[in-house]
Amino acid sequence: MSESVIHPTAVVSPKAQVGLGVEIGAYSVIGDHVVLADGCKVMHHVMVDCNTTVGEETILFPFSSVGTAPQDTTFKGEETFVEIGCRNKIREFTTINRGTAKGGGMTRLGDDNYLMAYAHVAHDCQIGNHVYLINGATLAGHVEVEDYAVIGAFSSVHQFVRVGRNCYIGGYTIVLQDVLPFAKIAQNRGDYSLYGPNSIGMMRNGFERTYINNVKEIYDLLFHQDLNTSQSIEKISQMFPGLDEAQLITDFIAKTRRGILKNFHNC
């Protein structure tokens, strides 16, 4: 791999580590204890503040800001961190804050994520792999987003909410409770609507038709029958013993702290 190319107007801390083949554009600032792994591309006017690790071949677009202090009034300058995996695309004006001591001290993104312009990832968020945050999507502190989730434009996710894998959240949705894996939801004039499982997204990500149909039946038990959540889980366990899709959904429900988003209109 070739040597790194650093524009003469860029400011790179002597305490930073820059791998091979890294590009750092004009007027970008790389702070103390930043690690830019091989093949990273930091375009012009980017801030990577401090205590931030950026994985291989990740691209930071102009005016993005990564590793700055958390927007938490209790933060007193503790040493906290951001960890970003490989092959992420972090678009213009996206902001990613460091963690807080009370929240584990780490904001983390996995691999192959796409954060579109003006997205915000607050302190202590944990994002998996292949996640899309569409323009203006906002994650409050301590949010967990599982693999292959899509969060629509200008949607906001409340603190401590979990967003399940392969779900799709429509634009302008305010998410106050946990969103089940595979769900496809949106909010219109204050009412939440469930459009069933994210079947198209699941097919694109290699799920077999049988798996998708099982998820549809599980959703029917959860949302369309005259059963409470405990009764639904018991019925799911009886109908789908040992199946991965059933276990994944029921385990997600069992671990909820804020409750599962269920108050759907015309679902």
Looking at the annotation, which residues are catalytic? Answer: 123-124, 141
Three state DSSP letters for 126-192: EECCCCEECCCCEECCCCEECCCCEECCCCEECCCCEECCCCEECCCCEECCEECCCEEEEEECCEE
* Integer Rg of the chain from CA: 20
Given CA atoms 194, 200, 206, 212 in this order, what sign does their dihedral have?
Answer: positive
The DSSP letter of residue 102 is G
Give first-to-last CA distance, the chain, whole Å: 53
Residue written as token pair 């959540």: 229
| Cβ-contact 42, 36 below 8 angstroms | yes
| Cβ-contact 143, 122 below 8 angstroms | yes
d(CA 208, CA 33): 44
d(CA 27, CA 116): 22
